[in-house]
Amino acid sequence: MTPGSMADRFLPRRRMLKAAGITIALPWLESMRVKGAVRDRDAAPPMRMVCIGNEFGMYPGAFWPQQVGQDFELTPLLKPLADHRKQFTLFSHLDHGQKGGHFAVHTFLTGVKAAEARGMPEGGISLDQRAAEHIGSATRFPSLAVGSEDGLHGGCQISWTRTGSRVPPVPGPRELFRKLFVNEPPEEKVKAADRIALQNSILDAVLGDANSLKRQLNAEDSRKLDEYFSSIRDVESKLALDQQWQDIPKPSVELAEPQNQGLVRDLPLIYDLIALALRTDSTRVTTLEIGGTFVASDLGIKQGYHSLSHHGQDEKNLELLVEIELYQVEQFARFLSKLGEINEPNSNGNLLDSTMVLFGSGMGNGNSHTNHDLPIIVAGGGFRHGEHKSYPVESSKRIPLCNLYLSLLQHFGLETQSFSTSTGTLPDFEVA
C-alpha cells in the first residue's frame, strides 16, 4: 500500500468523526501555576465526576448513624467529614441486589456482574465510562482510572467499558503524573503518529474482512461478530482521540515527578493529582480503586487488610479495621477540602461545586461477604446536601442504587432515562 492510498483510506473515517460532532476543548486553568490553558471566559464551569471505591466496604457498626435526615450523628467513620457536613449526602439501603461477596465487588459502578452484562441494553458499562462517553474528546482523557491491577480476585475492578473490558488503572502517582503532565519528545511523537497510522490501516483491513464474513454467519455467530465490531469501535475512538491530541501540549505544573511508595503512602498524592487533572481540564471523569494492595503495615498495623475485614466481631480486629478505614475517609475528606479551595474562573463557585464525588464500595459487609446495604456517599456537584437518606429495606420496595447513578448522569448532562438496573431517578435527591 502506498502512502497516498493509505491516506485516502483514512479520510472517510476522519470525515465521519467530524460529522459526528467530535470537538476539541483545550485545557484551561485560572491558576498562575498552570500555563498555556485556554477557555471561553463566558462559559459555565463544566461538570466533573469522581468515583472512589474500596474493595472491602466499611464496617457497618462504625459507619452508619441511627438517625436520618439532617440531624444524623457523625459516627466514628464519618467524623473526618465534619467540616463538609453540608456538602455531602449519606445514602443507606441502596445496592444492586447482587450476591457473591468478593466476586460481586466489581458491580459497584455497573449494577450487573460482568458475566451477566451481555444481555443488558448497554452491556456492562460502568457509571464513569457512561459519563466519559458523553465527554468524548472534549478533554485529552475522557476518563482516568487510578489504582492497582493487584488485590484479592483482581482488586476492585470498578471501571468497565460498554463491551465488557475492564479499564486498566494507572498504577501509581508517578505514572499518573507522567500521563497528565509530561510531554513526549518530538521523536516519540513521530513514532506515535506512525503507530496510529499503522493501527488504523490494520483496522480498515480487519473490518473489511469481518463485514464479508458476516454475510455467511448464523444468528449466534453474527451476534458475536457484532460484539467484536463494538470492540473495534472502541479502538477506533481511542486512536482518533490520540491522533487529535498529538500536537496539543500538556499543561505544565510546578510539581516534581513523584515516586511510588505504595497505595497507603501514595493516597494523598493521588488525590492531589486527581484534583490537578480536574483543575487543568485534562479529564472530567476519574475513578480511584482502593483495593487489596492497600498495605496495612504502612499504617503500623501487622495484620492484613483483608484478614481484618473478616474480623469475627473480635474487638481488637475491629479496632484495627476501623483505623484502616478511618485513614481512607480522612484522605477522602482532605480531597473534598482541596476541591473546595480551588476557585472556578469567572464564577463564584469552587471545584467541589462542579464535581460530583461518589465514595463507596461494592461490598456491604466484608465479614459476612454481603453485597447489600452498600456504604454510599455523594459529595459536591451542586446537589442539596446535608442529610442521611434512608430507603426501604423490604425486598419488594428496595430502590436500586442505579437510580442514584441515573440522577448523577442526568445532572452530568446526559439526556437518558435509564442506566443499568435503574427504575427511575431518586426524586428526593435534588440540585440546589
**Is 90 exceeded by the pLDDT of residue 55?**
yes
List 49's β-bridge partners, or say none.
Answer: 285, 356
Q: What is the pLDDT of residue 151?
A: 55
Q: Return the residue matching grid coordinates 464474513.
A: 213
Q: What is the pLDDT of residue 165?
A: 86
**Is 70 exceeded by the pLDDT of residue 300?**
yes
What is the mean pLDDT of the segment spanning 284-310? 91
Q: What is the pLDDT of residue 291?
A: 84
What is the mean pLDDT of the segment spanning 339-358? 93
What is the mean pLDDT of the segment spanning 43-66? 95
Instruction: Output the average pLDDT for the chain.
Output: 83
Q: What is the pLDDT of residue 8?
A: 35
pLDDT, greater one: 209 or 34? 209
The three grid cell numbers given for residue 187, joined into one nine-digit string: 521523536
The predicted model scores a pTM of: 0.81
Contact predicate 341/275, CB 8 Å: no
Of 12-16, 106-110, 141-145, 158-162, give the lowest mean pLDDT range.
12-16
Q: Given pLDDT bands bounded at 50, 70 and 90, which one contains residue 188?
A: low
Query: Which letter does DSSP use for residue 53 in this model?
Result: E
pLDDT, greater one: 37 or 72? 72
What is the mean pLDDT of the segment spanning 183-192? 65
Residue 335: its H or E element: helix 315-341
DSSP secondary structure letters along 222-258: HHHHHHHHHHHHHHHHHHHHHHHTTTSPPPB-S-PPP
**Is 60 exceeded by the pLDDT of residue 400?**
yes
Q: What is the pLDDT of residue 9?
A: 32
Q: What is the pLDDT of residue 194?
A: 57
Q: How many CA atoms lie within 13 A of 143 on its CB side?
A: 25
What is the mean pLDDT of the segment spanning 332-345? 95
CA torsion sign for 408, 411, 414, 415 is: positive
What is the mean pLDDT of the segment spanning 155-159? 85
Q: What percent of the chain has pLDDT over 90?
A: 63
The three grid cell numbers given for residue 258, joined into one nine-digit string: 513523584
**Is 90 exceeded by the pLDDT of residue 244?**
no
Across 153-157, 289-293, 396-400, the highest mean pLDDT is recorded for 396-400
The three grid cell numbers given for residue 400, joined into one nine-digit string: 436500586
Q: Given pLDDT bands bounded at 50, 70 and 90, which one contains residue 236?
A: low
Q: Give pLDDT tens digits for 32-48.
A: 334 434 445 457 899 99
Q: What is the pLDDT of residue 10?
A: 33
Q: What is the pLDDT of residue 332?
A: 98
Of 33-37, 126-130, 311-315, 417-421, give the lowest mean pLDDT range.
33-37
Distance between CA atoms of residues 92 and 81, nearest Å: 17
What is the mean pLDDT of the segment spanning 162-177? 91
Q: Given pLDDT bands bounded at 50, 70 and 90, which one contains residue 23?
A: very low
What is the mean pLDDT of the segment spanning 285-307? 91
Return all residues near 26 (Cβ < 8 A) that are at least 6 apart.
Answer: 37, 38, 39, 248
What is the mean pLDDT of the segment spanning 305-315? 93
Q: Is 422 helix (H, G, I), strand (E, B) or coil?
A: coil
